[in-house]
């Protein structure tokens, strides 16, 4: 195992025992007691030992969630989020590992910045914070960053997210290096020549409102190109925030011909549509933009089917002045960590598209596999690391952005009543969130 991973393993909690009483692994069967000792699952059912207890009341026990796409804004924009506040939001959202995107200031395009992010994550200790390394220097798309040096420092995922690696030769080289290094390139698929000045999904709504369009083809053409390049390079490719029907079609086609491609969809693209644009409220501005109801339907089906592998939040905190302004000046992005599970329940579970095993797959197992995390997304079995999330499927709650752990409050779900709540999160047996609070 590489350096960073080993260090993170060493921060395991001290020897403590804990009983999760009356919980239902994967929401299946009758409630059982689960014993956690020394950071691992030590027993399931028939527990006679005495220990501290977390009351499950029949709640669903899942492997801890893994977010492949989080913007933590540190270094550079600590007025909107820090590694500490973002880690708290992640723990409260049921996450035990997050990947912190590289579009910080300075950019995480070198060993020093990625090591700083990893170190801060360890110090905070609420969630495993894995730094994403930039593919190109300064996210400028011109010169490859030192992928090898960052990989040696423990980086597993590389992305210029926020920007597309649009030059096909640079992308080809990045894929070739990623193969040699055993890491994965995550592409923000957006052909920049097709989205100059783009403000919203190119379609009826944007035309009616006079907003410059962001055509679906700008995403689909890059995904198609990169699937071909990945196959050619014998490399793995990960596609960030899939938002269109055409991208789902391209992924299905590419997978069928043996391309090692994985893909994520965000909670907001599973629920919201460009019908929201009518209010001109920039809280709905995001990149890629909210698409149509037809796209939402296809994205849900593709996720259920496995054509899209997993859910990733694209948690993107922004300051009030960057959101509470005219549409064209507003920054794209929305908070996601504390609402992701509930949006997945609303769009995938309550619609019958996924059962709780399916939720474990798309929120935890597949993202852990894609990033190559050996101790996350593991089955709920004796001997496995106790990275766990307890979910009350019958709870419902009202979203209040101001109440989130994040510094920013830009949630498009403000005021909505959502189903399902995270009861507790455990990182290597240590309770990192319980009852909506971070334990002291
Ligand atoms: O909406 C977005 N916000 N999309 C991105 O690609 C970047 C992100 C951000 O950093 O705010
Ligand atoms: Zn992006």
CB distance 246 to ligand 1 below 6 Å: no
CB 404 within 8 A of CB 392: no
Query: Best substitution site from 86, 198, 332 to test ligand 1's pocket, by max atoms within 8 Å of Cβ?
Result: 332
- Nearest CA-CA partner of 243 in 212, 206, 224, 215: 215
Query: What is d(CA 36, CA 55) in angstroms, rounded to the nearest whole number?
Result: 14
In tens, the pLDDT along 291-310 reads 999 999 999 999 999 999 99
Please say if the pLDDT value at position 1 is more than 60.
no
What pairs with residue 431 in β-bridges?
426
How confident is the model over 115-127, as a mean pLDDT?
Answer: 98
CB distance 188 to ligand 1 below 6 Å: yes
User: Which of the residue ranges 6-10, 67-71, 123-127, 320-324 would you say has the lowest mean pLDDT?
Assistant: 6-10
- What's the whole-model pTM score? 0.96
Write out the DSSP string of 264-322. Answer: EE-HHHHH--GGGGGG--GGG--SSPP--HHHHHHHHHHHHHTSS-EE---B----HHH
Please say if the pLDDT value at position 284 is more than 60.
yes
| Amino acid 373: pLDDT | 98
| Amino acid 2: pLDDT | 32
Nearest atom within ligand 1 for CA of residue 240: 6
How confident is the model over 178-205, as a mean pLDDT?
Answer: 98
Please say if the pLDDT value at position 5 is more than 70.
no
Share of the chain above pLDDT 70, in %: 97
User: Which of the residue ranges 11-20, 44-53, 291-300, 303-312 would you say has the lowest mean pLDDT?
Assistant: 11-20
Domains of the chain as residue ranges with CATH: 5-61+382-434 (2.30.40.10), 64-371 (3.20.20.140)
The tokens for 35 are 């014993």
| Amino acid 222: pLDDT | 99
How confident is the model over 76-105, as a mean pLDDT?
Answer: 98
Query: What is d(CA 32, CA 22) in angstroms, rounded to the nearest whole number?
Result: 5
Query: Best substitution site from 287, 335, 406 to test ligand 1's pocket, by max atoms within 8 Å of Cβ?
Result: 287
| Amino acid 15: pLDDT | 53
Going by their DSSP bridges, the two strands 310-311 and 261-265 should be labelled as parallel
Instruction: Please provide the distance, in angstroms rounded to a whole number, between the alpha carbons at the two ends of the chain.
Output: 32
- Nearest CA-CA partner of 162 in 227, 234, 107, 98: 107
- Nearest CA-CA partner of 113 in 166, 72, 79: 72
Query: What is d(CA 102, CA 70) in angstroms, rounded to the nearest whole number?
Result: 10
| Amino acid 16: pLDDT | 79
CB 386 within 8 A of CB 428: yes
Please say if the pLDDT value at position 10 is more than 70.
no
CB distance 316 to ligand 1 below 6 Å: yes
With cut-offs at 50, 70 and 90, classify the pLDDT of residue 12.
Answer: very low
Helix axes 216-233, 245-256, angle to 10 degrees: 20
| Amino acid 251: pLDDT | 99
Please say if the pLDDT value at position 3 is more than 50.
no
Please say if the pLDDT value at position 9 is more than 90.
no
How confident is the model over 1-26, as a mean pLDDT?
Answer: 63
CB distance 243 to ligand 1 below 6 Å: no
Query: What is d(CA 286, CA 62) in angstroms, rounded to the nearest whole number?
Result: 29
In tens, the pLDDT along 381-409 reads 999 999 999 999 999 999 999 999 999 99
Query: What is d(CA 323, CA 275) in angstroms, rounded to the nearest whole number?
Result: 19
* Residues forming the active site: 314
How confident is the model over 214-229, as a mean pLDDT?
Answer: 98
How confident is the model over 333-338, as a mean pLDDT?
Answer: 98
Write out the DSSP string of 368-411. Answer: HHHHT-TTSS--S-TTSB--EEEEEEEEEEE--GGGSSSS----
Closest-CA residue, ligand 1 atom 7, reads 162
Nearest atom within ligand 1 for CA of residue 334: 1
- Nearest CA-CA partner of 145 in 185, 99, 105: 185
In tens, the pLDDT along 146-160 reads 999 999 999 999 999
Average pLDDT of the chain is 96
């Amino acid at each position: 195992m590489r350096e960073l991973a080993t260090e993170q393993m060493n921060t395991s909690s001290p020897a403590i025992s804990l009983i999760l009483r009356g919980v239902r692994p994967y929401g299946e069967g009758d409630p059982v007691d689960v014993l956690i000792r020394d950071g691992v699952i030590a027993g399931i059912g028939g527990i006679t030992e005495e220990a501290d207890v977390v009351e499950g009341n029949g709640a669903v026990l899942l492997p801890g969630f893994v977010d492949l796409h989080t913007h933590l804004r540190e270094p550079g924009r600590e007025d909107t989020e820090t590694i500490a506040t973002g880690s708290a939001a992640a723990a409260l959202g049921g996450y035990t590992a997050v990947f912190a995107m590289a579009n910080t200031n300075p950019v995480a395009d070198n060993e020093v910045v990625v090591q700083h992010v990893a170190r801060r994550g360890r110090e905070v200790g609420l969630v495993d914070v894995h730094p994403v390394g930039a593919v190109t220097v300064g996210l400028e798309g011109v010169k490859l960053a030192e992928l090898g040096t960052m990989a040696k420092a423990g980086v597993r995922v590389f992305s210029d997210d926020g920007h597309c690696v649009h030059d096909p030769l640079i992308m080809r080289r990045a894929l070739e290096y990623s193969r040699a290094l055993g890491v994965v390139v995550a592409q923000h698929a957006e052909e920049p020549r097709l989205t100059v000045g783009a403000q919203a999904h190119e379609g009826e709504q944007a035309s009616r409102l006079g907003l410059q369009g962001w055509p679906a083809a700008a995403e689909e053409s890059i995904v198609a190109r990169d699937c071909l390049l990945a196959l050619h390079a014998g490399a793995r490719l990960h596609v960030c925030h899939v938002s269109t029907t055409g991208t789902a079609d391209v992924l299905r086609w590419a997978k069928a011909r043996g391309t090692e491609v994985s893909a994520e969809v965000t909670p907001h693209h599973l629920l919201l549509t460009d019908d929201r644009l009518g209010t001109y409220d920039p809280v709905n501005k995001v990149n890629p933009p909210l698409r149509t109801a037809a796209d939402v339907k296809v994205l849900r089906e593709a996720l259920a089917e496995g054509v899209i592998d997993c859910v990733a939040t694209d948690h993107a905190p922004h300051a009030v002045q960057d959101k509470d302004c005219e549409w064209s000046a507003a920054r794209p992005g929305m908070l996601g960590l504390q609402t992701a599970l509930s949006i997945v329940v609303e769009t995938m579970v309550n619609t019958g598209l996924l059962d709780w095993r399916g939720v474990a797959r798309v929120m935890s197992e597949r993202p852990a596999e894609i990033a190559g995390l050996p101790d996350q997304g593991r089955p709920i079995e004796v001997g496995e690391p106790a990275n766990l999330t307890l979910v009350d499927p019958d709870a419902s709650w009202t979203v209040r952005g101001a109440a989130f752990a994040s510094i920013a409050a830009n949630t498009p779900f403000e005021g909505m009543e959502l189903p399902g709540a995270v009861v507790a999160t455990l990182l290597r047996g240590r309770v990192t969130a319980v009852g909506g609070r971070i334990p002291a």
